[in-house]
Amino acid sequence: MTTLLKSATIIDASSPYHQQTKDILITDGIITKIDNNITSEENYTVVALDNLHVSPGWFDTSVSFGEPGYEERETLQHGVQVAAKSGFTHVAINPNTHPIVDNKSAIEFLINKVNGAATSIHPIGALTQQSKGVEMSEMFDMQQSGAIAFGDYNKPVSNDNLLKIALLYAQNFDGLVLSFPKNNLIAGEGVANEGKNSTLLGLKGIPALAEEIQISRDLFLLEYTGGKLHIPTISTTKSVQLIKEAKEKGLDVTCSVAVHNLILTDDELHGFEANKKVNPPLRTEKDRKALIQGLKEGIIDMITSDHNPIDIEHKKVEFSTAKDGTIGLESAFGALNTVLDLETIVNCLTSNPRKRFNVELASIKEDEKASLSIFNPDGAYTFSKENIISTSKNSIFLEKKLEGKVYGIYNNSQLILNS
């Protein structure tokens, strides 16, 4: 199969063609030629789209589907199609299924179920058995079967000693430990950011302190043990500062931020829309600006959609009892494109997460494997239900103005384009 991308603007700082507009010829999954004008032949699949841009394939480090156990939310087969049409060539799959992904058989099930799909999946194994936070899982066995990291999705490790032992043990096989930044005792029954809006709306608050005190603890443990720690989806000003100080000390720590925490604030809650109930919660404008600045300074390493499909029975209920979570794959690029420059977006979706999670990154140059996200950064539109491909429809960005269009991907020798 031969694919020809016509007049594609290349966004790839590691490529000699960065910021240049070129034709790209791909044969059997390999970039065979990049030139100003490549003549099409009869058997070529030609992609000639308006304002065509390409970058190395995007990698989302926090994606939940439903299978096994919650297929009504999203199946694996459909989920990877959603990811592909949203521009993602690689996704890390969270272990929050039923049963929890906490052993090698569960890892192998996920990998085998969608083997050969255009979007590659990379399972995250649970850090503790059944994600209960009591006993450590079979991390080494899971890594041997394909797990790229270990963490209990959206569940903090409350046992200090367990996290200490996990950080020590994982060093034996260069494992990456994830620790969700929330102290449940301080967060209590909170459902929204503690502040002016939660008070006005009568909602129980989650103080920023609940996140920051957990991050402080994690960093103290990391300094003691060594090893590699990733803190997913930070959301406060102080959290950014804590990560900055830890990096200046030389600790091997990285962190991510969810797209919605970069775009929206707790002002959105005046309407008690359950799709806007997320974990960590939407914070203040000051926090939002600090997160964007943290990205630009390289303190925050990567961005995730934190895609988490929830069925209507658990979302179309009172705000305080609704499940946390929003889908985010379809809206990720369009939302980010309203607040960040293109190079920052691409860097935080490609090289940074791939280095940390040890996922191969192919540059856009001749004789390299083709793993490409294909998009147009221009064009404003209102995100609506018609833009949702996911089985579940719980999007935090419904009726929001977004910028840019994803055309699709080329990955694993397959071209996937939105119709």
- pLDDT tens string 327-379: 999 999 999 999 999 999 999 999 999 999 999 988 999 999 999 999 999 99
Is 394 a domain residue? no
pLDDT band at 1 (very low <50, low <70, confident <90, very high): confident
How confident is the model over 225-233, as a mean pLDDT? 98
Which residues are within 8 A (CB) of 133 and not within 5 positions of it... i.e. 6 or more apart?
A: 152, 155, 156, 157, 158, 159, 162
Residues 1 and 47 in one domain: yes
Of 284, 125, 253, 130, the closest CA to residue 181 belongs to: 253
Residues 169 and 294 in one domain: yes
- Rounded to 5, what percent of the chain is helix, strand, coil? 35, 25, 40
Is 326 a domain residue? yes
Is 285 a domain residue? yes
Residues 279 and 411 in one domain: no
Residues 41 and 181 in one domain: no
Residues 286 and 228 in one domain: yes
pLDDT of residue 195: 97
Residues 295 and 407 in one domain: no
7: domain CATH number is 2.30.40.10
Residue 267 is a catalytic residue: no
345: domain CATH number is 3.20.20.140
Residues 291 and 311 in one domain: yes
Is 302 a domain residue? yes
Q: How many domains does the chain have?
A: 2
Domain enclosing residue 168, as ranges: 56-355
pLDDT digits 0-9 by tens, 17-30: 999 999 999 999 99
pLDDT digits 0-9 by tens, 166-195: 999 999 999 999 999 999 999 999 999 999
Candidate list 12, 23, 102, 306, residue with the active-site label: 306
Residues 160 and 12 in one domain: no
pLDDT digits 0-9 by tens, 391-403: 999 999 999 999 9
DSSP codes, 340-365: S-HHHHHHHHTHHHHHHTT-----SS
Residues 47 and 112 in one domain: no
Residue 35 has a CB neighbour count (10 Å cut-off) of: 12
Tokens of 108: 């192998």
Q: Is 199 exposed, middle or buried (0-12, 13-18, 19+ CB in 10 A)?
A: exposed
Q: Distance between CA atoms of 14 and 196, rounded to whole angstroms?
A: 45
Q: Distance between CA atoms of 126 and 177, rounded to whole angstroms?
A: 10
Q: Distance between CA atoms of 312 and 325, rounded to whole angstroms?
A: 12
Residues 185 and 38 in one domain: no
